[in-house]
Amino acid sequence: MNLDLFSDDGAQAAKPSSPLTADALRAQQLRQLLHRYAHCYYTLDAPEVPDAEYDRLFRALQSLEDINPELKTADSPTQRVGGAVLPEFQTVRHQVPMLSIRTETDNEASGASAFDARIRRELGLLEDAPEIDYVAELKFDGLAMSLRYEKGVLVQAATRGDGEYGEDVTHNIRTIGQIPLQLPHDGVPLPAVLEVRGEVYMRRDDFDALNERQLKKISEGAKGEKTFVNPRNAAAGAVRQLDSNIAAQRPLSFFAYGLGEVSGWPTPSVPYQTHFELLQTLKAWGFPVAIQTQCVKGASGLIGFHEHIAATRDALPYDIDGVVYKVNDLSLQVQLGFVTREPRWAVAHKFPAQEELTTVQAIDVQVGRTGKLTPVAKLAPVFVGGVTVTNATLHNEDEARRKDVRVGDTVIVRRAGDVIPEVVGVVLDQRVENAEIFTMPRICPVCGSEAVRDEGEADYRCSGGLFCSAQRKQAFLHFAQRRAVEVDGLGEKLIDQLVDSGAVRTLPDLYKLGLTALVQLDRMAEKSAVNILKALEASKDTTLPRFIYGLGIRHVGEATAKEFAKHFGTLDAFMNAPEEALLEVSDVGPVVAQSVRAFFQQSHHQEIVAQLRACGVHWEEGAPAARAPQPLTGQTVVLTGTLPTLGRDEAKAMLEAAGAKVAGSVSAKTSYVVAGTEAGSKLDKAMALGVPVLDEAGLLSLLQTAQSEHRENAGTDSQESQP
């Protein structure tokens, strides 16, 4: 979208005195819409519609003007290049205009073939002539920028603006670490004046972190703060800050892809003859150039690049909306020249739009396998991201309220790769009258149990647990897993069949299965069915910690289940314990205690436990274990990566036997992190927090030293207690 709001002389187009024809009226409406959308996109950094919608309207106006040349006005968006210049910034005139390139909207392979055929035709090449060399680049979704260097020193940075005049944003661009403030004077020679053209953008991870900070400010009551719609607008907003301190807090990045004005070479020869050589020269001067950039030959090379980038697009750390093809030979670029204000030697080849407009027909609430309630917008079918989308997630009540999505709204829907489609925003001026604000139900729409939201969490969850049919499969899988009650051979596919066929509804139904019911399932031979029945029988002999863990109580993990079993000794004592008693258990806080009480207050959960016992599921019980201090009592350890000789379970067992708690995440309260090969983010977080990091040898040494000190202390205590 490279359109301005004004004509060359700053005046709006005059209204014709005669009645408007249908085409003229439509053209006028399109111009008004496009001006408004461009103003919101470029000047306010608050887009009202997705790019695909703007592009459709733009092409419709182009088509009308092509058919009716008399409708083409000086202020038409088709006659301009960029956005409006904000009044707060000093105006900069580009000595070499910052032109846009033509967009190929055919996102199939034929779009690349058409560009190659057009170039060959313009050059007058015969069919058997050699293939043309092209440079294939990424089409970044950011803000075009021109950087002016004089004698190697950055003196000015300017936005594209309307292509001829831009905004001086030097104070903000200086905050971008990737942009050199001074170019090296050794190696590749420097011209006296050098304008480097490129794109300022924001990485997705930086964008997510920025929005998290914004949400925190909003929650703390900060005035005038907001979250950003997408990385492009967050980057544009940062570049246009009058206070560079604010811009410095919004992490921006830069890619170089071309030149503007260049003059005063110290040597007679320019150090590049092709566009690809130019990009390598930019790299030598210290500018980042996208590593995906390639030299390719002919239409087949362009098609291959387009398909490869389309397939890997979602793995990139930043947003793109297509690729760009440029004739590599600079002399051929000169020969091809320009048409209107677009170079003939380049084209942008777009991918299928990842954002589209559609309407919300209803808002349903779905219950996930873990009980999470998710509001889902039911949409009028729309083709976006390469597929037809009819549903889009609203994530949770807070997100639905923040975006203020209502039934009947026209919304922007986004889908990137395999990511679940989501509603990005609402087109408010198209809202229907009396549209009702969405409210999350306080009961589960599947089983009728209470929907609860823990303090500090964004999601509501069904409290029905084992009783809720939406959670059945997850409940069965959790109960039968190796670390819980363990039913060998009872995996996801078999559980799917059992639940879908109605053979089981609650956990006790597993122990009521007969051979006949099992052999009727797909791919279940009699021998396999017999093995499942044997595994079910063997699983009846379990332990109290495994049984507690297998119930799937929210927030009660394997280690916490062991602590409960040690502390209470019997299941009945655990089930009937008030919150105060639960809080006496090691490492149990209010959230876990409340979750346990809420679970057992559900009568259907008590009934399921009783039925499991009646089916013969049993374990040893006794008095609460004496809680003698262990060598690592009070220590919290996190395991990450692969250790040379110790398995994860073995290391965990050794630590727990020494009294340590083995946690799954790193925090400031973590005592040690034990890291093996391929350790990931947990190791990074430990180093950032200053948590001690041990390898396997360090772990064994810690255990040995702790045991020795514990024995010595125990011996001292024993001697001191003697008369």
Residue 168 is given by DSSP the state B
- Apex CA 436: angle with CA 430 and CA 439, to 5°? 130
* Cα–Cα–Cα angle for 28, 104, 288, rounded to 5 degrees: 115
Which segments within 397-484 are labelled E, that is strand?
410-414, 422-426, 451-452, 460-462
Radius of gyration of the chain (CA): 33
Q: Which helix (H) or strand (E) holds 639?
A: strand 636-640
Q: Name the packing angle between helices 51-67 and 22-38 (round to 10°).
A: 150
Report the SS3 class of residue 146.
strand
Q: How do beta strands 387-393 and 346-350 pair?
A: unpaired
Cα separation of 211 and 216, whole Å?
Answer: 9
Give the CA-trace dihedral at 643, 648, 653, 655, to 10 degrees. 50
Question: Measured in Å, how far apart are the chain's first and last C-alpha atoms?
Answer: 91
Which one-letter amino acid corresponds to residue 268?
P
139 is known as an active-site residue: yes
Residue 346: strand pairing partners: 326
Q: How far apart are CA 505 and CA 500, in angstroms?
A: 9
User: DSSP string covering 247-285, please?
Assistant: HHTS--EEEEEEEEEEE--SSSS-S-SBHHHHHHHHHHT
Alpha carbon separation from 175 to 23, 180, 253, 254, 480 (Å, rounded): 48, 10, 10, 11, 55
Rounded to an integer, what distance in angstroms lies between the CA atom of residue 98 and that of residue 160? 6
Strand pairing partners for 583?
none
| Long-range Cβ contacts of 673-677 (<8 Å, 24+ apart) | 673/637, 673/638, 673/639, 673/640, 674/637, 674/638, 674/639, 674/640, 674/643, 674/698, 674/699, 675/640, 675/641, 676/640, 676/641, 676/642, 676/643, 676/644, 677/641, 677/642
| 353 DSSP 8-state letter | P
CA dist., res. 181 & res. 100, Å (int): 26
Which tokens sit at 528?
Answer: 């396999």
Torsion angle defined by CA atoms of residues 523, 526, 531 and 536, in that order, rounded to the nearest 10 degrees: 90
The Cα–Cα gap between 554 and 518 comes to 31
Q: Parallel, antiparallel, or unpaired: how do β-strands 372-384 and 355-367 relate?
A: antiparallel
Per annotation, catalytic residue among 15, 72, 139, 669: 139
* Catalytic (active-site) positions: 139
